[in-house]
Amino acid sequence: MRRINGWNVVWLLIAALCAFAASFWIGFDPINVMVDKEAGQVWPAWVQALGSIAAIVAAALIAYLQRRSENLEKKNESLARERSMASFLYKDFARWREKAADVMGPVVMFGVDNYAIPQNIYDHMRDLHIIGPTASEAATKAIGASLVARTVGRSGNDDTKRYLKDQDSVDQYNTQLTIIRESCSKVLDHFDELLGIRHQPNDHAASAKS
């Protein structure tokens, strides 16, 4: 846990004491103290009051700075994990977006994996919340579209091969592929912002093929 700098506390205490000392001096009448000896008894009471108030203020400031330091540390740790996961999954989402190309007509889906969830993303589905709500929501949408695309085809006689036998099933299949591409783009846009990456047009495609 990060500790509060001691000098910060010292300067805060000095500032608080100076402020209370100024308030005391403005409201204090030195003539009455000189004329009335018993008025001098005000000094110990003022000093004690100022010390008590300064201690309360210092304790409150220390607690506030401690909480702020802890919150900042947690935020930095969360950001570091998010950036690490973004770097780890970046190429997988880029390749998935490029792979999810539309089919042109009826096709046997056996061996066609343009909708399939990349293994690296599949293995870390439970950790997608780390990449932030915007990206994780888009990633979850792409995963859902992949599962729907898999069920669009009609089973063959062996119940293994799947077929896009008519244009209607092709259109349904391509709709899910479009959702995958758009969702992957949202994830990659978030990753670019998170990692400070700036792309020229078509740079995503180049990075996916590298």
Residues 67-81 have pLDDT tens digits of: 888 888 888 898 899
Range of the domain at 62: 6-72
Does a structural domain hold residue 191?
yes
Do 101 and 59 reside in the same domain of the chain?
no
Do 145 and 168 reside in the same domain of the chain?
yes
Do 41 and 98 reside in the same domain of the chain?
no
pLDDT tens figures, 102-158 = 888 777 776 677 889 999 999 999 999 999 999 999 999 999 999 998 888 766 555
Picking from 41, 72, 103, the residue at the C-terminal end of a domain is 72
Strand ranges, E, within 1-160: 107-108, 154-155
Do 49 and 96 reside in the same domain of the chain?
no
User: Which of 54, 50, 73, 88 shows the shortest CA–CA distance to 1?
Assistant: 73
Does a structural domain hold residue 78?
no
Do 93 and 65 reside in the same domain of the chain?
no
pLDDT tens figures, 13-39 = 666 666 666 655 555 554 454 444 555
Per the structure, the count of domains in the chain is 2
CA distance 171 to 105: 9
The Cβ of residue 40 has, within 10 Å, a number of other Cβ atoms equal to 11
Do 88 and 186 reside in the same domain of the chain?
yes
Please report where in the chains the tokens 């100022």 appear, as a residue.
50
User: Which of 23, 11, 2 shows the shortest CA–CA distance to 61?
Assistant: 11
Structure tokens at 82: 């998010």
110: which DSSP letter? T
Residues of the chain above pLDDT 90, percent: 34
Do 60 and 114 reside in the same domain of the chain?
no
Spacing of C-alpha 40 from chain mean position? 60
pTM, full prediction: 0.64
Does a structural domain hold residue 77?
no
